[in-house]
Amino acid sequence: MAEEILKVEHLNKFYGDWQALHDINFDLQKGEVVTLLGPSGSGKSTLIRTLNGLEPFKDGNIYFKGEKVEPTPKEWQKLRQQIGMVFQSYDLFPNLTVLDNILLAPTKVQKRDREEVKKEAMALLERVDLADQANSYPRQLSGGQKQRIAIVRALAMHPELMLFDEVTASLDPEMVRGVLEIIKELADRDHMTMIIVTHEMNFAAQIADRVLFLEDGKLLEDTPGKQFFEHPQTARAAEFLSSMEF
């Protein structure tokens, strides 16, 4: 039986009086790729940010590898070392070179040996075709390059789970493909467990083992990927899919 990486139970989140997430329930097995779809403002980003504690939640439970998460800063700091996250705006550290961006957390947070991490970082950079940029600064790179580096920076921590929050949304169209190919390869070759928020429907259809469809903070569907794109269960999801076609 597959190992359970994540389980979310009755998760509710409020911004003041406004409820952003309503009673969210789902689980995630090791090696599974789940895409989080839904219209703007449906709570996709809020949900994915809640899963590594960047957003606090009011009630409900999150279990990581079978253990209940105590939502304290200390506990999250520990867990985040196993949950990699990549953001829409890359957010590399502008004062550090590409290599130092990658080495910072493994050496300072995980206290791993610098030389060992460096070897690994160079191998990862090689894999995303950016080994020649190891000593560049983020400002010298294109958006697509920066996002590939951000993925490498997260992978260097040896995460058990990767979260991707609209990672291609601010890229020029011709840069999108390179980033998506890397994520696809992570799924196919490394069997990385991933949750992906995206608006790239073709990509989602290709990569998703399961689709979670959100609207107004409610989880309307939790459907196997192929089935979601061919026969969505809810009318709302069908409407959403047809609105994305062009």
Partner 1 sequence: MDWTIIQQSLPNFVQGFKLTLWLSLVGIVGSIIVGIITSLVQYFRVPVLKQILNVYVEVARNTPLLIQLFFLYYAFPVMGIKMTAETCGIIGLIFLGGAYMAEGFTGGFNGVSQNQLDAGEALGMNQFQLARYVVLPQGLSLSVPALAANIIFLIKETSIFSVIAIPELTNTALDLIGMYYRSNEYLFVLVVAYAIILIPVILLLDWLERRVRYGAFGN
Note whether 169 binds partner 1 by CB under 8 A. Answer: no
Per-residue DSSP letters for 16-48? TTEEEEEEEEEEEETT-EEEEE-STTSSHHHHH
Note whether 92 binds partner 1 by CB under 8 A. Answer: yes
Cβ atoms of 135 and 98 closer than 8 Å: yes
Contact pattern from residue 49 through residue 88 relative to partner 1, giving x for each residue in contact according to CB under 8 A and a dash for the rest = ---xxx------------------xx-xxx-xx-xxx-x-
Can you tell me which of 16, 17, 18, 139 binds partner 1, judged by CB under 8 A?
A: 139
Can you tell me which of 26, 71, 137, 170 binds partner 1, judged by CB under 8 A?
A: 137
- CB-side exposure of 192: number of CA atoms within 13 Å? 25
As measured in angstroms, the least distance from the Cβ of 149 to partner 1 is 11
Task: Indicate the residue among 48 and 237 with the shorter CB distance to partner 1.
Answer: 48
Can you tell me which of 105, 180, 204, 237 binds partner 1, judged by CB under 8 A?
A: 105
CA distances from 178 to 43, 158, 174, 175, 203 (A): 27, 22, 8, 6, 12
Note whether 123 binds partner 1 by CB under 8 A. Answer: no
- CB-side exposure of 101: number of CA atoms within 13 Å? 27
Q: Which residues contact 75 (CB under 8 A, 6 or more apart)?
A: 69
Can you tell me which of 153, 161, 182, 213 binds partner 1, judged by CB under 8 A?
A: 153
> Which residues bind to partner 1, rule: CB under 8 A?
52-54, 73-74, 76-78, 80-81, 83-85, 87, 89-95, 104-105, 108-110, 137-139, 146, 153-154, 157
